[in-house]
Structure 1
């Protein structure tokens, strides 16, 4: 499976809007990691990840998000996971990651 990552910075809200389409797994996680690191290196701001088109995420993908969150926490920033499908939301709940990420919608 492939992944499409659309990102833009919202100057009004001072946040990164990241829209992910497809699957985040061992094959695509590095692409997401590079994209997010590039974004927060230039502007370490909150990330709003729109997961409405995210079909699947595995432990590799979760690891990428945890690593990015650790970098953001240095600047007291967060990652918000919005509009996640039930299977993705369930994974965050089962792993307890819904307690460290802001899972909304």
Structure 2
């Protein structure tokens, strides 16, 4: 099961909490909800992954697409508090060099 929840962060960032698993079955909902949340946002998008237990290549691809859209709006996507298994996947794929990775804030 997957859930995306918008949070209040204030300042110049939009906080999005990701919970559960993002896989081939939940990826379409993830894409739709994430892109709806981003819209034409000019603030940085912070994806809080502290409660994200699993993500596959489809989910990572959606995050890359979100990053491209954010860059078009002169903003960025930051990955916050990923669990060790999620962080490992970012490292294996090299996406830890593409995204701004934050351990806590």
Partner of 1:8: 7
Q: TM-score, normalised by structure 1?
A: 0.90
2:40–2:73 contact (8 Å) kept in structure 1: no
Q: Does 1:91 align with 2:89?
A: yes
CA-atom RMSD in angstroms = 1.3
Provide the rounded CA distance (Å) in 1 between the counterparts of 2:21 and 2:73: 28
Partner of 1:72: 70
Count of aligned pairs: 103
Gap regions ≥5 residues in structure 2: none
Partner of 1:59: 57
Give the deviation of 1:91 after TM superposition.
0.4
Q: TM-score, normalised by structure 2?
A: 0.90
Q: Does 1:22 align with 2:36?
A: no
> Which aligned runs of 4 or more in structure 1 are off by greater than 4 angstroms?
none
2:4–2:16 contact (8 Å) kept in structure 1: yes
